[in-house]
Amino acid sequence: MFLQADAPYRMLPKDIDKLYVRNTAGKMVPFSAFATAHWSSGAPRLERFNGFPSVNIQGEPVPGKSSGEAMQAMEEIVAKLPQGIGYEWTGLSYQERMGGSQAPLLYALSVIVIFLCVAALYESWPIPIANLLMLPLGLFGAALATWLRGMHNDVYFQIGFLTTLGLTTKNAILIIQFAQQRMERGEGLIDATLGAARVRFRPVIMTSLAFFLRRPALAIATGAGAGAMNAIGTAVTGGMLSATFIDLFYIPLLFVVVSRLFAAKQPTPIGEQHAAAFVSPNVE
């Protein structure tokens, strides 16, 4: 049971003299007979994190520094504190740290998924290798554009990085698929590749420009959320430029190189060897 006096009678420490309780003899005894009251100061609330006493520290990076650099600086400061004091990240900082540790695995899974999708499209294992060789060219443009603008490797840049992977593969698919169709009609490897590059040049440029022309608006956006939009827009814009104008020259080249390399390593079936030996003329 909890008892509480009216507001005017519990405002000062001496008000405890106005409270009485009954003792074992049945008489009323004031609280001041066995208790004292005085003013003291302390923390307005006690911080706890996972059951341990803690201090909640919040901050933000100065202009020109990324959140990752600010977190690293805080970790260096905590490392200088006496033993027995640790730290844990919470909120957005925790999510950023967890996302950063998962980035290599995410990139690896993205490349594997692209490889398997292209392999299923062409029903071939060697041809997707030519598509994967295009990825560094697109990623180079994304990284270069971000570096030139003085931006950092944050979670938004990584989103644009992953988007560039798919866009780079798309241009290679548009050309290689037509080259394969021409080869199935009897054209040679070089003629089929050059013909596919000429036929698909305009569709590649049109689809790339249709996507590219919408991205600079993100790269130069201002206002609320502009930091995230600038990072994504810059990475995708730079990656799309390199994936379009550089890949157009390297897609046919790498397709021919990969096709010849793996075709030379494939042995002739035994049945075809016997048939060739049977029809070859006997020249004396």
pLDDT in tens, 84-115: 888 888 877 777 777 666 777 877 888 888 88
Angle at 70 between CA 66 and CA 73, to 5 degrees: 140
Assigned domain for 247 exists: yes
86 part of a folded domain = no
pLDDT of 124 over the 80 cut: no
Condensed to tens digits (0 to 9), the pLDDT of residues 125-143 reads 877 887 788 778 778 888 8
Asked if 139 and 195 count as a contact pair (C-beta separation under 8 A), the reply is no
| Domain membership flag for residue 274 | no
For range 175-195, the mean pLDDT: 85
Contact 175, 131 (CB under 8 A): no
Q: What is the pLDDT of residue 99?
A: 67
Q: Is residue 58 part of a domain?
A: no
Contacts of 228 (CB under 8 A, 6+ apart): 156
In a domain, 282, yes or no: no
* Integer Cα distance of 147 and 126 in angstroms: 34
Residue 45 maps to a domain: no
Is residue 223 situated within a structural domain? yes
pLDDT at 258: 84
CA-nearest of 99, 70, 263, 281 to 183 is 263
Q: DSSP letters of 10-54?
A: SSSGGGGGG-EEE-TTS-EEEGGGT---------SS--EETTEE-
Please say if the pLDDT value at position 145 is more than 70: yes
Burial class (CB in 10 A: 0-12, 13-18, 19+), 169: buried
Q: How many CB atoms lie within 10 A of CB 7?
A: 7
List the one residue out of 175, 198, 196, 192 whose CA is nearest residue 247: 175
Q: What is the CATH number of the domain that holds 117?
A: 1.20.1640.10
Helix (H, G, I), strand (E, B) or coil at 89: coil
* CA 239 vs CA 88, 143, 156, 252: distances in Å: 36, 8, 14, 19
What average pLDDT does range 234-253 have in this prediction? 82
Q: How many helices (H) and strands (E) does the chain have?
A: 11, 4
Residue 267 has pLDDT above 50, yes or no: no
Would residue 36 count as lying in a domain? no
Cα angle value 171/175/181 (rounded, 5°): 145
pLDDT averaged over every residue in the chain: 78
User: Residue 278, exposed/middle/buried by CB under 10 A (0-12, 13-18, 19+)?
Assistant: exposed
Whether the predicted pLDDT of 266 surpasses 50: no
pLDDT above 60: residue 43: yes
Q: Check residue 279 and give its pLDDT.
A: 45
Residue numbers of the domain that contains 153: 91-264
Cα 46 from Cα 139, distance rounded (Å): 49
- pTM for the predicted model, two decimal places: 0.56
For 14, phi then psi, to 5°, come to -70, -10
Please, which pLDDT band fits residue 1 given cuts at 50, 70 and 90? low
Q: What is the pLDDT of residues 3-12, one digit of tens each?
A: 778 888 888 8
Tens digits of per-residue pLDDT, 30-41?
888 888 888 888
Domain count along the chain: 1
Helix axes 247-265, 135-148, angle to 10 degrees: 150
Rg (CA), the chain: 36
Over range 150-161, report the average pLDDT: 78
Mean pLDDT of 253-259: 84
**Band (233; pLDDT cuts 50, 70, 90):** confident
